[in-house]
Every structure is written in C-alpha cells, then in structure tokens.
Structure 1
Amino acid sequence: MATITTEPATITRWDDVQHSLSGGGDGRSCQCIWPIVRNKDWQATNFDERSNMLHDEIATGPPPGLIAYIDGEAAGWIRVGPRTDQLRIVHTRSITAATTEPLDDDSVWAVTCFVVRREHRGKGLNAKLLQSAIQYARDSGARMLEAYPVDTTRGMHRVNDLFHGAVSTFLTAGFERGPAISGGRVLVTRPLSD
C-alpha cells in the first residue's frame, strides 16, 4: 500500500509544488493564482507572471497550501489560507451573500483549490489533503474554515471545474452544507474550535 503524506508548500519545496500543479488540468497554467486575484487582474496576467506570483507568495510565507506525496513523489496540492488573502472570494457576490462570517475576519480561512496529478487520481488524495488542511488551519489559529465545492450529484461537471473539490469530500470531513452559490457549487463550513 502506498504511503501518503502532506507537507506545507515552502520555498524549498518549489519544484514539488510545480510537479503537483503540472499533472493535468489547469493547475499548471493557473499556478493557483486564480483565488487570490480579482478577475480583471487575472485576465491581465500570463503564465510567467502567475508562476512568479506564486513563487513570491510561497517565499514570503506563510505557506499558502500543502503538497501531497505518494511514496515521496509530489502528487497533489491544496490551497488553504485566510479568506482575506483570497481576493476573488471576498469579491464574489454569490459567496459574500451566502456566508454569515464577516468578510474582514482573518480567522476565517478558505480552501479554494485542489490539484491531483492524473496518475494519482482515485487514491483518496483530496480527502487526505483536506484533512491536513483542516489541521494546518487549526494549528495556524483559524477559527472557521469555508469552502465552495461542486455538488457532483447534480448536473454534469467538467473535470477542470472540480478544482473546487466535491461537496461529498467536505461533508465526510465534518463540514456543514450551506446555501448554494453559483455554478453548481455550495458553501460549506467547519468550525475549528475543539
């Protein structure tokens, strides 16, 4: 049986971040910058600029995500951090209308992106990444964790749209289902106090 571990995305793991993001889907071109910039700024960037932005974000710290490893090989990625740092979230009307948490509260963290390399899909990496993200957020002082996953039980969804995660993964991890937002997605929340 394969050994799955997770580690914070630090600058010494930059090559592993890139390996995780480049295994299929939009991860490589996006560089997981989509959640942290407003749409107008996203449209104005190219791959090199996004890569530099992610590099600088990781170098500055704290780690904006976690890397999953299977038997030591980088296999997946999750973005998790203060919601206030993820500008697209706090400027998306359907999310701001659905949340009951103050938008300027940096104790509210958000999970906004999963990437799993094609050859490692179907091995439970999203669930492992999410469990690690919950612990990382708790250890970092987060009070609440929000996410905006896709309800895969309704309608058809392109694989590339599943970077938000699936509602079922979050519910299994103890999140509570909230209101629908947009694009077949749902607000889910999990308090992190013990």
Structure 2
Amino acid sequence: MSTDERGKARAKGALDVRELCAKTWGDFERVLGSNGGARGCWCMHWRLSISEWMEGKGEGNRRAMKRLASRRPAPGVLVYDGDEPVAWCAMGPRSSFPRVERSPVLAGIDDEPVCAIPCIFVRRQYRGAGLLPAVLDAVCDHAATLDHRIVEGYPVEPRSGRRAGSDTAMTGVASAFLDAGFTEVARRKADRPIMRRSLG
C-alpha cells in the first residue's frame, strides 16, 4: 500500500486496535523489531526501576513483557492498518507505570483517574508518513470502550529544527498529540509537556 493509499485509509478510520496477548505477540515483535524498540527496552522502561531495566535489558525485558501480555488487563495495544501492525502503544492506569509516578517531570497534576500512554512506537517502515495522530485517535477510541474518561500522554517537544531520537521519541511527539486533539495541561521541563484528551 502506498503512502497516499495509507493516508486515504486512515482518513476513513481504517486503523484497528487489538490488545497485546499471546495471539498478537508476534505482531508486537514485528513492530518493535530486533532491538525491542530502543536499546532492548521491550516497553519495560516505565514499569521497572532503572537498575531492574538495565539488568533485564534485551532478552530479560522481552520475557518480562511477554509475561505481562499473558495477563489482564493487557499492558497495551497494537494498531493495525488493515492486517499490517503499524504501531504499539502502552496504556493503562498511571499506577501501571511506576517510573511515571516517581518522575518529578511527569508526576500527576491532580487526582483525576487517567489512562496513561507513556510509550507509543511506530514501526520503522511506517515512520515519516504522518501516521501518529491517527494512531493516537485509534488508541483514544479504544480507551473510551474501556470506560476511561481521560487519556494522558507525555510527549517530547524537540527544539526547533531538531528531530527527536528513538530513545526520546518513544513517548510520542507533542505536535502529533495536538493534531489528535490533546491539550497541554502542565510543563515542568521545557521539552516535556503533559497532555490530555477528554473522552467525554
């Protein structure tokens, strides 16, 4: 499918969301690639202490995520364009992500229960096509079916003229969140806004 065709499909709301489980595990590995996203993370960065994450870096983190994928609620969702997995998004209550909770930059701003999305990772061959806002839309639609009222993200906002690297872009980019209807609600560091979208 060409970039233009993908754009038309996304405009029609064709992106599909499926929870990570044993059945979709292979697609999760396809999206994250052999490095597990970045530096052997396998989306465990926000779930472990830095020492635990470093100790499990690579295969240990992959096994830890696979265990989470066998439980409910699911640790996140895969986003599909047709039958092709194009992105991964970690999601759940803030308490699911202890390092978000402990972060002085990303600490909670109030007592509102939110669906946190601390990691959003677009498959390499689908980057650069403006896919992220549509991915965020699809994830928010899914969060609404789980009765979440607010989705909260922690994107990076690169300085003008610079691009976010794979390590920092794992949280998403602020401009894409704005395009997907999110609003900035706090900023404790120049390049790290906290953004929310109400699901009504």
**TM-score with structure 1 length normalisation?**
0.85
Using the alignment, how far apart are the partners of 1:59 and 1:25 within structure 2?
A: 18
Q: 1:156 to 1:123 in 2, by over 3 A?
A: closer
Using the alignment, how far apart are the partners of 1:27 and 1:82 within structure 2?
A: 23
**Counterpart position of 1:141:** 147
Q: Give yes or no for contact 1:32–1:54 (8 Å, CA) kept in 2.
A: yes
Q: 1:28 to 1:67 in 2, by over 3 A?
A: farther
Matched, 1:189 2:196: yes
Gaps of 5+ in 1: none
Indicate the larger mover: 48-57 or 121-130. 121-130
Q: 1:177 to 1:23 in 2, by over 3 A?
A: farther
Q: Give yes or no for contact 2:36–2:62 (8 Å, CA) kept in 1.
A: no
One-letter code aligned to 2:181: G
Using the alignment, how far apart are the partners of 1:48 and 1:42 within structure 2?
A: 11
Greater RCO structure (CA 8 Å; 6+ sep): 1
Q: Give yes or no for contact 2:18–2:78 (8 Å, CA) kept in 1.
A: yes
Structure 2 residue aligned with 1:40, among 51, 66, 74? 51
Q: Percentage identity across aligned positions?
A: 24
Structure 1 residue aligned with 2:110, among 87, 98, 101? 101
One-letter code aligned to 2:84: E
**TM-score with structure 2 length normalisation?**
0.83
For residues 40-90 of structure 1, the C-alpha deviation after alignment (integer angstroms, 9 at most, x for no partner) is 322222312111111111111222222122342222211111111111100
Count how many residue pairs are aligned between Structure 1 and Structure 2: 188
Gaps of 5+ in 2: 10-14
Using the alignment, how far apart are the partners of 1:52 and 1:23 within structure 2?
A: 14
**More helix per residue:** 1
